[in-house]
Structure 1
Amino acid sequence: MALETFNDVLAFVQVVRAGSFTRAAALVGVSPSALSHAVRGLENRLGVRLLTRTTRSIATTEAGERLFNSVAPRFEEIDAEVAAVAGLCDKPVGTIRITAAEHAATSVLWPKLSAVMRDYPDINVEITIDYTMADIVSQRFDAGVRVGDQVAKDMIAVRITPDLRMAVVGAPAYFATRPQPRSPLELAQHDCIRLRLPTHGGFLPWDLGKNGQEAKYPVSGQWVFNNSSSIVRAALAGYGLAYVPEDMVLDDIDAGRLVRVLDDWCSPYPGYHLYYPSRRQSSGALAVIVEALRYRA
């Protein structure tokens, strides 16, 4: 295969994986027009259309689907072998791309990795904040972070935290005019600061229970955010109750800036796990990341 055709096939695979020329261009560091030109060149040489393009989306044709399913796994194999060879050198090298929700990124990935990355100057770490349960294979991530019961069974999973708990908190100023809730049913009488989930456009339900009886409680309120740090900020300002990972607010609780309620209704849930496809385990750079993050009780 001529080098030009090989590069154009790779460009085609990247576009299909990303779902658009714009997203693929951002991932590989070229312009969308360059990728479009490469794919059109491939179509011209093959004499068949591979993609159906609209102003907002792309879709593979029957020929494009066949080509993608045939060659995409082979590019994955090439990547894995290159990573394996790179891992044979004295110093691990390469870029490790990780997808994680905001809380995992700020409370686990940053503190643990920043403590060791100076010892590995040839390893680059790219962390993408994402709540959408990204397909790490199709979106070209090396690893992802999710709570234990959300990790796909075909992935290698490594625990990186103990079990976690949520906390329901409000500012003293808020409780100056509202009684503290004694059960989750009383949340209907409160302003609750909500988290919108991009996965399906809905809100995170408040999962509360005790004595083995768990239930998801819908709540309402004036403020909605798509990240937990903004929710904490609004709670500190007295705008309502927040439902967030407890480690985000322990200092504020100790300092009296927030008051914890419904504590006995917040049960532990599985901690975070780093997960990755089995073919990535030969990467020396990923091995460094895994060991730095691994939870040791």
Structure 2
Amino acid sequence: MSYSLDELATFVTVGREGNFTRAAAHLGVSTSAVSQTVRSLEEKLGVRLLTRTTRSVARTEAGERLLRGIAPLLQEIHAHVTAVADMSERPAGTVRINADEYAIKAVLWPRLRPLLTRYPELSIELTTDYGLTDIVAERFDAGVRLGGIIAADMIAAPICPPMRMAVVASPAYLLENGIPRTPEALTGHRCINLRLPTHGGLYAWEFGSGEKEFSVRVEGQLIMNSVFQILDASIAGVGLAQLPLGLVEDALARNELQEVLRDWSDPFEGYHLYYPSRRQQTAAFKVVLDALRYRSR
């Protein structure tokens, strides 16, 4: 049986895209060339991998099995070849990272911005993501998550010190509605909810005091999908909000916001950059990792 890596890679692209035209655009070849390559692979294997209609492409059972088996291996081969090519070169190519918007603005961007000037051949792609995206399947080089929710088959590097969430409201709101003394009292207040963009659910406010950790589902008239929008709304007096302390520190210092429930808001493990343990690191990824790694003093 004679087949090439090019044929396998083309099949994987079509299988993931579910469309010959999009796969051709991704590969930089014609649609007919992609179709002929996949058909040639099917003939060599003696089994149909894709079911074609006038509008879509679906994987057969054999195609699904082949895609699951070879896609990670092809990605690993590509990573190893790229790493070898980069060994004697300046950092070049694209490093793709997904993270939530606060991590991007407060942690990643301030440290990565200087790299763009220092290494002109380096590109960085930052994607806002609140969900637990499979970074391997989505072809990210790394993801950023809070320390406690990282899969065991990943390497995790801390990129910031421990963090703390703060429940805040404007002085005018607290004067009119009173100060909640326990997290359970939040059910009697207007709270600003965060809609998680990638999951669609509402973020449950998390609390901890000593060894006790729990969450509270809050309600209010306003739901937003950005912590920066929520910050503005809380300053405007719409209601209570739970936000990273680093995000609200300036507003607290200006007395635009006041913190409540401080005794219920313990610090927790901060952001970590995580990436597959088996992936060979390129020169570009190494400089990004070094720039982001948190070094406690």
Q: TM-score, normalised by structure 1?
A: 0.87
Unmatched segments (≥5 aa) in structure 1: none
Q: Does 1:121 align with 2:120?
A: yes
Q: Report the counterpart of residue 223 of structure 1 in structure 2.
A: 222
Q: Which residue of 1 aligns with 2:165?
A: 166
Task: Give the Cα separation in 1 of the matches to 2:221 and 2:20.
Answer: 35
Taking the TM superposition and a 5 Å limit, the aligned residue runs for 1:98-113 are: 98-113=97-112
Residues 242-295 of structure 1 deviation map (CA, whole Å, 9 limit, x = unaligned): 111110110000001111111111111111111111233431111101110010
8 Å contact from structure 1 (residues 281, 287) kept in 2: no
Q: CA deviation at 1:50?
A: 2.5
Report the number of matched residues: 292
Q: Is 1:94 aligned to 2:93, yes or no?
A: yes
Deviates more, 1:251-260 or 1:77-86: 77-86
What is the CA–CA distance in structure 1 between the aligned matches of 2:242 and 2:24, rounded to whole Å? 34
How far is the alpha carbon of 1:94 from its aligned partner? 1.4
Give the aligned partner of residue 202 of structure 1. Answer: 201
What corresponds to 2:263 in structure 1? 264
Within 2, Cα distance between the matches of 1:286 and 1:202?
33
Deviates more, 1:8-17 or 1:246-255: 8-17
Aligned pair in 2 of structure 1 residues 158, 186: CA closer, same or farther (>3 Å)?
A: same
Following superposition, the deviation at residue 227 of structure 1 comes to 1.8
Structure 2 unaligned spans of 5+: none
Cα pair 2:195 2:203 within 8 Å, conserved: yes
Partner of 1:60: 59
Distance in structure 2 (CA, Å) of the matches to 1:283 and 1:227: 33
Contact 2:146 2:271 (8 Å CA) reproduced: yes
Work out whether residues 8 and 38 of structure 1, in 8 Å CA contact, stay in contact via their aligned partners in 2.
no
The TM-score, its normalising length taken from structure 2, stands at 0.87
Deviation at 1:21, TM superposition (A): 4.2
Flag the 1:186–1:76 CA change in 2: closer, same or farther, 3 A: same
* Aligned residue number for residue 233 of structure 2: 234
Judge conservation of contact 2:251–2:257 (CA < 8 Å) in 1.
yes
**C-alpha distance in 2, partners of 1:261/1:126?**
37
Q: Which amino acid aligns with 2:174?
A: F
- Cα distance in 1 for partners of 2:150, 2:28 equals 32
Q: Distance in 2 between matches of 1:125 and 1:289?
A: 9
Match of 2:289 in 1: 290
> Hey, what's the Cα distance between the residues in 2 that align with 1:53 and 1:212?
56
Match of 1:116, SS state, is helix
TM-fit CA distance, 1:177 = 1.4
1:107–1:52 CA distance, 2 compared to 1 (3 A): farther
- Per-residue CA deviation, residues 136-190 of structure 1 (Å, 9 max, x unaligned), is 1111101111011111111111111111100111112222311011111110111
Secondary structure of 2:266's counterpart equals coil
Aligned counterparts of 1:247 and 1:80: Cα–Cα separation in 2:
36
Contact 2:233 2:239 in 1 (8 A): yes
C-alpha spacing 1:15/1:166, structure 2 compared with 1 (3 Å): farther
Return the offset for 1:28.
3.7
Give the Cα–Cα distance (whole angstroms) in 2 for the partners of residues 272 and 200 of structure 1. Answer: 20
Measured in 2, the distance between the counterparts of 1:59 and 1:229 equals 40
- Helix, strand or coil at the partner of 2:167: strand
Q: How do residues 236-251 of structure 1 correspond to structure 2 at under 5 angstroms? A: 236-251=235-250
- Please state how far the C-alpha of 1:73 moved relative to its aligned partner: 3.2
Deviation at 1:89, TM superposition (A): 2.2
Deviates more, 1:67-76 or 1:144-153: 67-76
Q: Deviations over 1:179-237 (max 9, x none)?
A: 01111111011111011224543211111131322211110011111221111111111
Alpha-carbon separation, structure 1, partners of 2:117 and 2:65: 44
Conserved? CA contact 1:83–1:284, under 8 Å: no
Contact 1:144 1:275 survives alignment (8 Å): yes
In 2: Cα distance, 1:248 partner to 1:14 partner: 40
